[in-house]
Amino acid sequence: MTWQQLAIGVLFLGMSPLANCDEAKRPVIYQLFVRTFGNINETRKPGGTMAENGCGKFAHINDAALESIAAMGFTHIWLTGVLEQASGTAYPNRPADDADILKGVAGSPYAIKDYFDVCPDYAMDPEKRMDEFKSLLERCRKHGFKVIIDFVPNHVARSYSSDVRPEHSFGADDRRDVFFDRDNHFYYLQPDHAGGGAPLKLPTAGKPGCDGLFDLEREFGRVTGNNVISWSPSINDWYETVKLNYGHDFTQGRITAHLPGADASPDQVPKTWRTMDAVLAYWQEIGIDGFRVDMAHMVPMEFWRWVVSRCRNRASEVFFAAEAYDNDPAKLTDGHVLDELLNAGFDAVYDDPSYDALEGLYDAGKWANDLDPLTFTGERFHKSLRYGENHDEVRLASSKEWGGLGMKVGRPVSTVLYTLGRGPIMMYNGQEIGEPADGAEGFGGDDARTSIFDYWSMPEFTKWVNRGKFDGGRLSPEQVALRQWYSKLLRATQDKAFTAGEFYGLNHANKENPKFGRIGDESASGHWLYAFLRSDRESGRASLVVANFHGSETIRGASVRIPEDARGFVGRSGDANWKFTDRLDSDWSGSIAPGQLEIDGLPLPDMPPCSALILEIGGE
């Protein structure tokens, strides 16, 4: 056994949780992209076929893989991209899709071809793909996981046709002579729309295997998934997808109050509502525990109130998390769309603003203090799903993003994001070992993301997979240490201070504190250092979180002032010294008289570049 295998083996045994830790009150989600997760083929030919580059399979997600993921502290697995998608790979009774409607040879997992089926690429025997998927669900349950899959409500592949449930094929009985009809599945282009009229002209002409045309749409055309009303969408549009119609003409504005209410019967709602309810019911019956909803803000809130309620009537604990962006002009509400989605029944919404603020530290001149306004968001603050990576975002360890600092930048970024609130936390496969996604991979080019459009494998992650052993046997010492560190972080966040506690920011109280991490000639504090308290008064659990985001400077001699009302927030009274003990990455501890916390502040240990502390607060 190598020393790497021995180190990883420690994680298999599980790590001791903090004293008085409560069972997790929130999902800790591992995002697993099936196509790349278990793929050990290292050919990596840009634009290569499945035969050339290989493909991850349901069967590759074996007991060893799941045991190791569980040992890190995850509670949920998001099986990303499992629904059948338009693809350039042919199977018996399933021809390859036209290259003109594909992004990448493998195709986008968000261009769904059949909502009632799974991708045949992921099966050892494509004819038995659903059986193999159900076997994976059983393995996940054996290891204690709840399983989430994608729900993509806004758009489908141009080639959508369900052979599993043909009665639910979109567009079968639509009127094509009108742009909008309440009970059409799609929006149809009319002769006077931009782009020169029929046929639909796709931006793929001249690319290998492409002529810029799609046979199905030579005589009619449909609006793209990103709301483009044109017979000639651009290469930057979601040209491979078609927008779905929920009974609202989006060209008439955002007001959707004319749509049915949450208690409407199925015969009273637009046809797309009924079709999508059938999709969700189908997967609930198979045993899916929840859904990550793609671009949820582009769908009417009335639909969400109706369908989430119906899903909860079928399974009361079904989990809904929304990918949504309030700054998208396509949102269908005049209110803050994240709040509106929570009001409509979602359990969690993406916290893109906090992610953007931290990324902006390295590429937009932002300060850590810029996080502060994002902590006053009411209910949303504790119902935000926070992440340092996902399939849409750049890799933390990229050599050209996040300051080019490599895998170490994930430590302060993830510590802050995962401990801010009580909402779900998520990690993308590869983040835990510093997958950088460097180099061109195919359709997406060299964009610092692991491609979701191509047959590919992750160069660093395959070292953890280690020919299907999932033991980390080929990882570097730094990668092993990073994975162990992430496991410590996830387990530290299960203390009641984080699962049940409230938030109290400290940067505002330290802006005038010259010892709060100032670097060079800075005349104010809070550029690279961020600190806050989390406290659960009922259990008496409390922690101080401090992060140094700077990529090259060790912060020495720093102190953090904790004002009197913050001490009341923690719920400690009397004159006994306060003791602080790091539960994350060091054995540091310190104590201080409570009266000195506001005057001198707690002296911190030296904080190396890209480091963080989670200091449990106790008494002496």
Average of pLDDT values for 389-408?
A: 98
- Tens of pLDDT, residue by residue over 428-483, are 999 999 999 999 999 989 999 999 999 999 999 999 999 999 999 999 999 999 99
Identify the pLDDT of residue 25: 66
- CATH number for the domain spanning 603: value is 2.60.40.1180
> How far, in Å, are 45, 70, 404, 568 from residue 474 at the CA level?
22, 21, 24, 49
Answer yes or no: are the C-beta atoms of 244 and 332 closer than 8 Å.
Answer: no
Same domain, yes or no: 28 and 128: yes
User: Final residue of a domain: which of 443, 465, 496?
Assistant: 496
Q: What is the pLDDT of residue 17?
A: 35
- Residue 575: per-residue pLDDT: 83
* pLDDT at 618 > cutoff 50: yes
The pLDDT of residue 9 is 38
> Using one digit for the tens of pLDDT, what is the confidence trace for 277-296?
999 999 999 999 999 999 99
pLDDT of residue 571: 87
Q: How far is CA 574 from the centre of its chain?
A: 44
Contact 369, 527 (CB under 8 A): yes
Query: Quick one: 132 and 25 in the same domain?
Result: yes
Q: Residue 401 — pLDDT band, cuts 50, 70, 90?
A: very high
Quote the tokens at residue 169.
């094929």
312-360: per-residue pLDDT in tens? 999 999 999 999 999 999 999 999 999 999 999 999 999 999 999 999 9
Domain count, the chain: 3
Give the CA dihedral 502, 507, 512, 517, nearest 10 degrees: 130
State pLDDT tens for residues 407-428.
999 999 999 999 999 999 999 9
> What token pair was written down for 612?
């963080």
Same domain, 23 and 77: yes
Query: Is 542 inside any structural domain?
Result: yes
Contact 276, 284 (CB under 8 A): no
Answer whether residue 224 shows pLDDT above 50.
Answer: yes
Domain boundary among 195, 210, 243: 243
> What is the C-alpha to C-alpha distance for residues 116 and 439, in angstroms, rounded to an integer?
35
Q: Do 438 and 519 lie in a common domain? A: no
232 and 135 share one domain:
no
Decide if 248 is inside a domain. no
Q: Which of 78, 17, 24, 88 is nearest to 55 (CA)?
A: 88
430 and 543 inside one domain: no
pLDDT tier for residue 402 given thresholds of 50, 70 and 90: very high
| 57-109 tens-digit pLDDT | 999 999 999 999 999 999 999 999 999 999 999 999 899 999 999 999 999 99
Q: Are residues 11 and 100 in the same domain?
A: yes
Residues 114 and 78 grouped into a single domain: yes
Whole-number Å distance between alpha carbons of 337 and 335 = 6
Q: How far is CA 605 from the centre of its chain?
A: 33
- Same domain (yes/no): 143, 258: yes
Percent of the chain with pLDDT over 70: 96
Give pTM, 2 decimals: 0.95
| 320 domain-assigned | yes
Write down the pLDDT at residue 16: 34
Which CATH number belongs to the domain containing residue 342 in this structure? 3.20.20.80
User: Domain boundary residue among 243, 272, 304?
Assistant: 243
pLDDT value of residue 572: 82
Same-domain pairing of 479 and 350:
yes
Gap between the Cα atoms of 113 and 120, Å rounded: 12
pLDDT of residue 566: 93
| Structural domain harbouring 215 | 171-243
Rounded to 5 degrees, what are φ and ψ at 222?
A: -130, 155
Q: Is the CB of residue 593 less than 8 Å from the CB of residue 564?
A: no
Q: Is 584 found in the same domain as 454? A: no
Q: Looking at the structure, do residues 322 and 464 belong to the same domain, yes or no?
A: yes
